[in-house]
Amino acid sequence: MDRDALNSSQSSNMNYSRPGTSQKVNILGRAFSGLKPNFFSNREMAVDLGTANTLIYIRGQGIVLDEPSVVAVDMNTGVPVAVGYEAKRMLGRTPGHIQAIRPLKDGVIADFDICEKMLRYFIDKVNSSRWSKPRMVICVPSGITGVEQRAVQEAAEYAGAKKPAFIIEEPMAAAIGAGLPVQSPSGSMIVDIGGGTTEVAVISLGGIVSAQSARVGGDVLDAAILQFVKKTYNLALGERTAEEVKMTLGSAWPLDEEMYAEIRGRDLVSGLPKTVTVSSIEIREAIEEPLTAIFNAVKTTLDQTPPELAADIMDQGIVLAGGGALLQGLDQRLANETGMPIRIAKDPLHAVARGSGQSLEEFEVLRGVLFSSGELR
């Protein structure tokens, strides 16, 4: 072999093995693509531990679990009797010795033991191997404290995750899941409206430039509807009914055709069951205050954004993700409030889970967006 051919061969080999390049990632991707999905099923998973729902993404398989973050516990023994959908159906309908508990509140763990049991149940449900511990990426709100972050990591590790459990901030995961160019030097803005928190962030070069975490989400909208119906109609509603009213009648912007619906509850005066008719106009007024808090978080984040990145966001628009993005007219209202173009992410409910899963699929490329146990903020 002559010298030029040898140099060409060496140069080719160096290009393929140079760490940190996209070529190396592509080679790894091709190598992994030939392996069966079960190869990863007990080794690598991403968990979106949400206030309302928990989703699990397994590398090579995608989202394999999407269940409510609810546990029904027998208070006499402390043993869970139902988890997920089965437990959610019990909300407001349990006898005295059984209590349906939501172990997360405002995006953070409120009941550590119940959360750990719930997480263990979900992991066992999707994990094909009981002998090896999976590497896990788990999502947390951007505004949580170091103590709250440690609680999430310990819950994951006690539930069976391999140490260290990696942490990814929810707005970063949502941005990756929404397909935003998080590694590029241009600015991208994500608004992730979940069950317990609203995460607003401007992202550039793989990091969060400015962010706001407001403890306002779907749960607060439900509570506002409960209070409105109680005050206006002297009617007590259950949590599930309030959520259904929000999904059916809730809106942030006037509708082309306003809607009406009958809702049933308990009359606070007589104590008897009662049915009333409410309109989408009334529900829009009921949720105005928490919606204003979300819009203020967006405006505050924009106010803290460097001018160059603000110009990028003006061009590309603000992306909405999370279950709250499905509220009717929210994109129109936010566009009116900010003067910015607004678009809703594809499949916004699963954006965070997809993004955290993508950080597993491209672990070496996106390693910089993750925290481990030794990197508490």
Domains assigned to the chain: 3-33 (no CATH), 38-172+353-375 (3.30.420.40), 179-216+293-349 (3.30.420.40), 218-288 (3.90.640.10)
| C-alpha span between 194 and 214 (Å, rounded) | 10
Cis omega (within 30 of 0) for bond into 95: no
pLDDT at residue 368 in the model = 66
Q: Is the pLDDT of residue 14 over 90?
A: no
The winner for highest mean pLDDT among 65-74, 94-103, 138-147 is 65-74
283 phi, psi to nearest 5 deg: -65, -35
Q: Which of 51-60, 69-78, 110-119, 128-137 has the lowest mean pLDDT?
A: 128-137
Q: How wide is the angle at C-alpha 30 spanned by C-alphas 24 and 33, nearest 5°?
A: 140
pLDDT for res 273: 95
Token pair listed for 372:
């481990």
Count of residues making up the chain: 377
**pLDDT tens readout for residues 84-98:** 999 999 888 888 899
How confident is the prediction for the chain on average, in pLDDT?
Answer: 85
Q: What pLDDT, on the 0 to 100 scale, is given for residue 16?
A: 36
Q: Can you name the residues that pair with 276 across neighbouring β-strands?
A: 263
Q: What span, in angstroms and rounded, lies between the C-alpha atoms of 191 and 200?
A: 5
User: 253 phi and psi, to 5 degrees?
Assistant: -145, 145
Q: What is the Cα–Cα distance from 195 to 222, expressed in whole angstroms?
A: 10
Distance CA 195, CA 218 (A): 4
In the chain, count H helices and then E strands.
Answer: 15, 19
Nearest alpha carbon to residue 189 among 321, 291, 293, 294: 321
pTM over 0.95: no
Cα-Cα-Cα-Cα dihedral sign, residues 325, 330, 335, 338:
negative
Cβ burial of 308 (10 Å; 0-12, 13-18, 19+) is exposed
So what's the pLDDT on residue 107?
85
Report pLDDT for 23. Answer: 38
- The rounded distance, in Å, linking the Cα atoms of 319 and 187 is 12
Helix axes 218-233, 239-249, angle to 10 degrees: 100
**Spatial separation of the C-alpha atoms in residues 241 and 113, rounded to whole Å:** 28
Residues 6+ apart with CB under 8 A from 163: 157, 373
Task: Write out pLDDT tens, residues 297-336.
Answer: 999 999 999 999 999 999 999 999 999 999 999 999 999 9
